[in-house]
Amino acid sequence: MAVVHGECDGNDQHCRDKWTHDRRCRNVAPQAGMIVAPKARSGLEFDLHIWASRAAAKVLACLPGDPLKRVIAIYPGTFDPPTNGHLDLIRRGSKIFDELIVALLRNSEKTPLFTHDERFSMLKECVSELANVKVDSFDGLLVDYAMRKGAKAVLRGIRAVSDYEYELQMALMNRKLDPRLETIFMMPAEAYSYLSSRLVREIAMLGGSVHDLVPELVETRLKQKLSPGAGTSKVAQKRR
């Protein structure tokens, strides 16, 4: 039969106050938790089994930390339009974090090709197969949005040295505003190391193929958006 440390009598207050005195109380859990007493020789031995199991459960309840705590990360951007590079980071990020929020930024300083609602819709369709990924939108400071969502990390992709300089500046400023928010940099897959939304827009506007650069649904929306009579000719001319 497993022996429970003499000082740990299963009292809740004792566990809260004394769990740091050594690791012996922590070791009660795996030992006592494995005790099965269907063949106890006496009533006293059976009572000891029951007591040990209850004491172990109380010790586990008093240990610090929450084993079920979820790590939430935010992947912010304008996504005009979403590219295969974006989806590469989203898929890989979804394997690292318990929940990944793809946060669509409302940026009044930019004149996007696609409206906010159009980009939101495309992102929702692109990540629909990923159970722990959701799409949201925000404006204002990223650190404030992260606090509202309970996020502890920001996911960002870095394609080149020029990206790093900008992203480093943003990461350090976010840390200044909220030291609890960490920035996680990920390198893109080699196939997408040159890819950006700006290049995709320019290629599409000049009539080039973006077949391998964006998801199929985004390619279809680009063709519809830039087709003659679609009402986007002025936007296209302005962006050129």
- Which residue is listed with tokens 């200044």? 176
134 and 57 housed in the same domain: no
Domains identified in the chain, total number: 2
What pLDDT shows up at residue 66?
A: 54
* Residues 113, 55 share a domain: no
Nearest to 17 by CA among 63, 56, 54: 63
Examine the domain organization and report whether 25 and 54 are in the same domain: yes
Domain co-membership, 104 together with 134: yes
Q: Which of 26, 91, 116, 159 is catalytic?
A: 159
In a domain, 5, yes or no: no
110 is catalytic: yes
- The domain in which residue 31 lies consists of 12-62
Q: Residue 35 has what pLDDT?
A: 37
Q: What region does 103 belong to: left with phi over 0, alpha with psi -120 to 50, or beta? A: beta
Give the pLDDT confidence score for residue 162 in this predicted structure: 80
Across the chain, which has 240 residues, the per-10-residue mean pLDDT values are: 43 44 42 42 53 49 56 96 97 96 86 94 97 96 96 94 90 96 93 93 95 95 86 49
Q: Pick the catalytic residue: 54, 110, 148, 198?
A: 110
Q: What is the CA radius of gyration of the chain?
A: 27
Dihedral-angle region of residue 145 (phi above 0 means left; psi in -120 to 50 means alpha; beta otherwise): alpha
**Is 156 tagged catalytic?**
no
Same domain, 140 and 40: no
Q: Which of 197, 201, 221, 225 is catalytic?
A: 197
pLDDT at 28: 41
Q: Which of 58, 86, 156, 201 is catalytic?
A: 86
Report the pLDDT value the prediction gives residue 240, as an integer from 0 to 100: 46
pLDDT for position 82: 97
Q: Given 62, 82, 98, which residue is the final one in a domain?
A: 62
In a domain, residue 25? The reply is: yes
pLDDT at position 70: 85
